[in-house]
A and B are shown apart, each in its own frame.
Chain A
């Protein structure tokens, strides 16, 4: 049980540090970290499918966007309060990922990547096409007054930070626990050797289906939270770029590690933040990082640390 204890200590310790940071950081970095935590939730969702199950999706922006539009439109057009809107965002993402999974999982390898890319492109174009409601590329802003839970304004920096931390903590703990349970172990089995897992008697398709739905729903939760906390919804979040980002984050942080997604997002966020001050071609950094990672560090930051020094890292 020492293995478990170390893992529990690591995750709870990380969350404790994040709580303390919330009080210590100046407002600017506190806002940044809130954004990083929400995006890290998105990356955690992506990691369930890519890092643990071994399925590379190039269309996760559609799940992020489903959550974002589900929650955002409910608040913006329907005047819903925050929590029901968040729930609607989750349901939209879960429903979309179930449909996409049923179709896309009939393919494997390169075809799976292209099918997910195409579905995401269709979702993005639909968001543009329904510009009358979605505002298309320009998007829309959710009124400040509606963004509050039981009187706590989510526009207030510290409240917003802890709201972001809560959603991150839930996603982190759920996935960390899941990967220690038999279900998660089977997912890793699918990644390592799909045929053998099948021969051992596991229903591989059902496990992959659930992995896509869990992954898509967590991504949707991140999208819904992003809309609620930062008050902006736009089609950019459904574009190809936002499907590439989680891939980049997870590769950078370390695929198949629980804390890798957060490390990857934080690293990339500050790198791009710095680069965009220097040049408007800041995506160059993202491209160069992707190439360098493929060439030299396929395991990512946390993965390399695990391979070299700390083999027990979850």
Chain B
């Protein structure tokens, strides 16, 4: 393949990664923005989404689309429910103290991960995509008959990958509508802006915290259900999304939703593109070092405010 088609392919792969990353990181960013809690167990909620999707898809017989649609609803609900329990049992008890919540969520990380190992096992298992048509992509080039289309071998994607991108955009738009146009969105934003005043105005801040924490986890689980037909479900799969989400949230500015989405596109796309051309380990080293330096020298990120 020539450089041009190769690049197109890399951009497509990057876009799929970026879509899923945007959803995952949005959950982390929302939780940090509203609750000022760094949820180190966020990646495990992602893993839970994928593992639950596998359980649902294998339990429900019939066309793979039925199981997939069921997973799309059930997995975020269960993951969100578990997150609400974690909020009530752990985070609330330590009164959302920053250090204690970090240590506590590290504990939750291992509890969820190791429970998955016990129940689901150490194997990586695939989930069948609801539909998957190979779509060959055209490429323009000067040929013998002048400018013309042709279909280079290997330049193709699947309809499912395109679906992931569309689905992610739809979810992001819905999220934005909920945050900016509905009452629950207003309440969340009020809590984020000023916890005490919100409390004085009769907003049940504790319940908002539980909902936000559950909602953040559900977003991660939803992202995982979307990606699990492309990747496989594994009990250790939460590690990379966690680090990438951290990177995205830091680059985008902590607590800034707009920044998170922009940074997810930036990081997801460049991660996809760079790892086609460079060794993935090397690109990860560069990315983590860059992020550490961003935090050191520009802690407010692209859009956010300085964090305490």
B281: interface (CB < 8 Å): yes
* C-alpha spacing A246/B103, complex, angstroms: 12
User: Does A103 contact B292, Cβ atoms closer than 8 Å?
Assistant: yes
User: Does A284 contact B110, Cβ atoms closer than 8 Å?
Assistant: yes
A289: interface (CB < 8 Å): yes
User: Does B111 contact A288, Cβ atoms closer than 8 Å?
Assistant: yes
User: Does B90 contact A291, Cβ atoms closer than 8 Å?
Assistant: yes
Name which residue of chain B comes closest to A275, CB basis: B114
- Contact partner, A109, options B281, B291, B307, Cβ 8 Å: B307
User: Does A287 contact B90, Cβ atoms closer than 8 Å?
Assistant: no
> Which residues of chain B from 73 to 115 have any CB-CB distance to chain A below 8 Å in the complex?
90, 93-94, 98-100, 102-104, 106-115
Q: Is the interface of B mostly helix, strand, loop or mixed?
A: helix
Residues on B with beta carbons closer than 8 Å to the beta carbon of A56: 99, 102-103
Q: Is the interface of A mostly helix, strand, loop or mixed?
A: helix
User: Does A287 contact B281, Cβ atoms closer than 8 Å?
Assistant: no
Residues on B with beta carbons closer than 8 Å to the beta carbon of A291: 90, 104, 107-108, 111
Please report the number of residue pairs spanning A and B whose Cβ atoms sit closer than 8 angstroms.
121
User: Does A109 contact B308, Cβ atoms closer than 8 Å?
Assistant: yes
User: Does B299 contact A281, Cβ atoms closer than 8 Å?
Assistant: no
Given contacts A281-B118, A290-B110, contact A110 B102 (CB under 8 A): yes
Which size bracket describes the interface of B in this complex? Answer: 35 or more
Residues on B with beta carbons closer than 8 Å to the beta carbon of A244: 106
Residues on A with beta carbons closer than 8 Å to the beta carbon of B106: 244, 247, 287, 290
> Which residues of chain A from 20 to 39 have any CB-CB distance to chain B below 8 Å in the complex?
none
B250: interface (CB < 8 Å): yes
Shortest A28–chain B CB gap in Å is 26
User: Does A107 contact B295, Cβ atoms closer than 8 Å?
Assistant: yes
> Which residues of chain A from 158 to 206 have any CB-CB distance to chain B below 8 Å in the complex?
none
Q: Mark B258-297, 1 if CB is under 8 A from A, else 0.
A: 0000000000000000000001011011001101110111
Name which residue of chain A comes closest to B109, CB basis: A287
User: Does A295 contact B292, Cβ atoms closer than 8 Å?
Assistant: no
Residues on B with beta carbons closer than 8 Å to the beta carbon of A113: 38, 102
* C-alpha spacing A282/B279, complex, angstroms: 33
> Which residues of chain A from 265 to 289 have any CB-CB distance to chain B below 8 Å in the complex?
279-284, 286-289
Given contacts A114-B246, A125-B285, contact A283 B114 (CB under 8 A): yes
Residues on B with beta carbons closer than 8 Å to the beta carbon of A282: 114
Interface segment out of the listed A2-10, A41-49, A115-123, A216-224 = A115-123
A-B contact pairs, 6 of them (CB 8 A): A106-B297, A121-B288, A283-B110, A287-B106, A287-B110, A294-B104
User: Which are the 7 A-B pairs with shortest beta-carbon distances?
Assistant: A287-B110, A290-B107, A291-B107, A284-B114, A118-B292, A281-B114, A287-B111
Beyond the given A107-B299, A122-B292, A279-B118, please list 14 additional residue pairs across the A-B interface where CB-CB is below 8 A: A106-B296, A107-B295, A109-B98, A110-B38, A111-B299, A118-B288, A121-B243, A247-B106, A287-B109, A287-B111, A290-B110, A291-B108, A292-B107, A294-B107
Footprint of B on A, CB under 8 Å?
A: 56, 58, 103-104, 106-111, 113-115, 117-119, 121-122, 125-126, 128-129, 240, 244, 247, 251, 279-284, 286-295, 298
